[in-house]
Amino acid sequence: MNKLLKLSNVSLNYTIDNNSINILKNISFEVDYKETISIVGESGSGKTSLIMLIGGLEKNSAGNIFFKDSEISNMTEDEISEIRRKNIGIVFQSFYLIPNYTALENVSLSLEINKLDNATKKAKEILDRFGLSNRFNNLPSQLSGGEQQRVAIARSVVMKPELILADEPTGNLDSENTENISSLLFNYIKDENASLIMVTHDNNLANLTKRKIIIKDGVISENQ
């Protein structure tokens, strides 16, 4: 198949008070290795739900999701956790650093969970690469918003995942930090040959990706 990711007729429904709500309907697309994709659309269109499905954080109601030939829709939570921790890095809009862990500990957490040697050394290298060499031992509360997002990106890429999922990575940042973070993220992806699926409202950011998927009312309206 030689595709990093393949979604085939994927749907997501929620049932609230006996009413079924269709969040995503018959979504199908493929992602190549080293490809960068932005997902855009109005609020409530289903963008975030889509990357939650891709990351295995939600179960699809119908269809199939293949990650490197393995169908993740039928996997148990533990099996998906195993794939996620080795192959997928996630960047959130609100950073979500663990508040009582230092920057270094937040980054080394993924490495340690995967039982990699020299976790601290590798975490320091990536933080150093992201310009945070003087912030190793600071807690998140002692960092600026831009610094926090750099730590969060460092945490998501430290395992050198093949796929990075980013949900509005610059949504909580000012324009200067937005520019810094986006160049940092895209330079990294280019250098490490990773793939990126990014949800964003920011057209400038979306234009940096190779492909743009527009979602409207839970269906793909454009796949450019």
Partner 1 sequence: MKINDLSLYSKYAFRDLLRSYSKILSIIITLLISLFILSAILTIEDSLENELNENSKVLLGGDLEIDYNNREGDKNLIKQVENISTVSQIVEFSTMISTIEKKQNKTSFTRIKAIDQNYPLYGDVIFEPVGSLKKLNEIDNTILVNENIFKNLNLKINDIVKVQNIKFKVIGVVKVLPDIGGAFVFGDFALTGKKTLDKLELNTLGSFLNYEYKIKFDDYKNKDKKINEIKKIFKNNDKVKIRYPENSAGGIKRIIDNFSQFLSLVSISAMLIAGIGIANTLLSFINQKNSSIAVQKAIGINSGNIKTIYYLQLLISLIFISLVAYGLSFFLVPVVDKYISDGLGLNIQASFSLTNLFIVFMVGLLVIIIFSIPTVNSIDQIKASSLFRNVFQSLQFKYSKLSISLSLLLLTILISLFAFRSSIPTYSLIYFASFFVCLAVFFYVSRFIILLLRNNLFNLGISSKIAIKNITQSKSITPITVMSLGLGMTLLLTLAFVGSNFKREIAKSIPEIAPDYFFLGIQNNQKNLFKKIIIDTDKEAVTEIVPMVSAGLVKINGIDPNTYISNSNDSYWVIMNDRRVSWVNTIPKDNPILEGSWWDTSKPNKLQISLDSKVAKDFGVNIGDKFTLRIYGREIEGEVVNFRLVNYQDLSINFAMLLNPQFAENIPHEYLSTIKFKNIKSFNEVNFLDKFPSVSIIKISDYLSKVTDVLNKVFIAVSIISAVTVIIGLVVISSAIIVQRKIKIFQNLVFKILGFSKKEIIMSSIIEFIISFLSIIFFSTIFAVLASKFIIENIFQLKWLFEINIFFYVTIGVGVATLALIIITNFRYLSPKVYPLVRNE
Give the binding site for partner 1 (CB under 8 A): 48, 51-52, 55, 57-58, 77-78, 81-82, 84-86, 90, 92-94, 96-101, 105, 109-110, 112-115, 155, 167
Give me the least distance between CB of 18 and partner 1, in Å please: 20
Is the CB of 77 or the CB of 190 nearer to partner 1? 77
Considering the complex, state which of residue 35 and residue 167 has its C-beta at the smaller distance from partner 1.
Answer: 167
CB of 99 to partner 1, least distance (A): 7
Pick 25 or 155: Cβ nearer partner 1: 155
Nearer to partner 1, 112 or 210 (CB): 112
- Non-local (6+) Cβ contacts of 117 within 8 A are none
Q: How far is the CB of 205 from partner 1 (least distance, A)?
A: 17
User: How far apart are CB 105 and partner 1 at their closest, in Å?
Assistant: 7
Cα 214 from Cα 206, distance rounded (Å) = 11
